Amino acid sequence: MSTAAECFARIDALDGRLHAFLHVDRAARARVAQGPLAGMPVAVKDLIHVEGMPTTAGSKILEGFMPPFSATVVERLQAAGAVIVGKTNLDEFGMGSSTENSAYGASKNPYDLTRTPGGSSGGSAAAVAAGLCDAALGTDTGGSIRLPAAFCNQVGLRPTYGRVPRWGVTAFASSLDQVGPMARTVDVCEQVFQVIAGPDERDATSARVPAPRRVDVGLQGLRIGLPREYFGKGLDPEVEAAVRAAAKFYQAQGAKLVEVSLPTTQHALAIYYLLAPSEASSNLARYDGVRFGYRAPGVKGLREMYDQSRARGFGPEVKRRIMLGTFALSAGYYDAYYAKAQRVRTLVRRDFDEALKAADVLLTPVSPVPAFKLGEVTTPMALYLMDVFTIPSALAGLPGLSVPGGFTAGGLPIGLQLLGRPFAEGELFSVARAYEQAHPWHERRPNL
């Protein structure tokens, strides 16, 4: 484990090139001397409140905002002895797949500084990959932990919906958002998860389930499902080869490979981009220039203050999603769009229920491609498609784990995705650990 002093030295040396952090607390120290994470340097995505540190959500609209309290997950990290070293960069309000939507500039991938670390939790993934911290928290609405983990050779968990409290976390889409850990190894990721998970009376969506525990699942006889819809056209050949190689490894260890079908997957992207923007349009209405954050200067009247504060404070992607969501919720369109999308979401969940009767765990790609160059993917739809393999399970509220699965011929990391039943994070960690022990891809560090 690194010391906080070592991480601050690496931040000073490297973050000028990576731009993983938006705020660094160089005076940070552990609040307790003992605990399961005693002395561990941990970074926090800048959607999550830390008392004494600014929260920007990657947006100008929150400029100058200093939260008066810490999120539940931060309280739990500090109670376990972790040192919160700073706040990491992200796509504005978590809306994006590359950190290029950050109002403060894009982060860089430590494995190739010309490429994205993924998004929206790209700063968290880049920070861990470069050794600027031992672990980091991200949030995952449609893939924002798993995609950056895959692009940066990290382990990243999106927990079951409700498994980790969201109190003190800036909302994007409340029926989808989840906080989760990112780390270099399965064991460290699981260790952080066990600290932050569990019920919270301040969060109405928090699941009342027992605290997570380590589970060891034998591979002999384990049924690993390969969804047929996740392979084929549009999938990079090297990514597909890595996933199929992992399947063969599990088969050689005694697991049984099962082909399953998730037919509603083809509709998941459209469903997500109706539901998530609709919820965002409601959640982001609070940013109006009145109570906190940016207020446009030189305006006349309340209406102009609202309009100009939001027009200047929000970036293009956030405006696009607010407008889309507002339209979908408007009179005459609610039933045709939002309500219908919710009904189809139920079908997505049913597909997963059926698939996870035939299989114990699903194995899929995380992203259709490895990390792409910054500035290379310019259209919104092309960026949305990066989450085509992570959005369906998010709609279903299921846990998903990204684990390093190798490298392309050009040296770019490839991620494997393991999906499981609700609250089966322990099983996912166990299956991932078996692969990691035989394939220590995490030992291949970036050359910085």
Q: Known catalytic residues?
A: 45, 120, 144
State the alpha helices, DSSP H only, in 330-396: 340-358, 380-384, 391-396
Rounded to 10 deg, the angle between the 316-329 and 265-283 helix axes is: 100
**Cβ proximity of 280 and 173 under 8 Å:** yes
H/E segment holding residue 48:
none
Instruction: Give the position of tokens 């499902």.
Output: 225
Secondary structure (3-state) at 205: coil
> Cis omega before residue 120 (within 30°)?
yes
Do 388 and 408 touch, CB atoms closer than 8 A?
no
* Rg of the chain on CA atoms, in Å: 21
Q: Hey, what are 145's tokens?
A: 């932990």
- CA-to-CA distance for 148 and 106, rounded, in angstroms? 13
**Which contiguous run of DSSP H or E holds residue 85?**
strand 83-88
Token representation of residue 89 = 């960069």
* 229 φ, ψ (degrees, to nearest 5): -70, -10
Residues 71, 177: Cα–Cα separation, whole Å: 14
Q: Please state the length of the chain.
A: 448
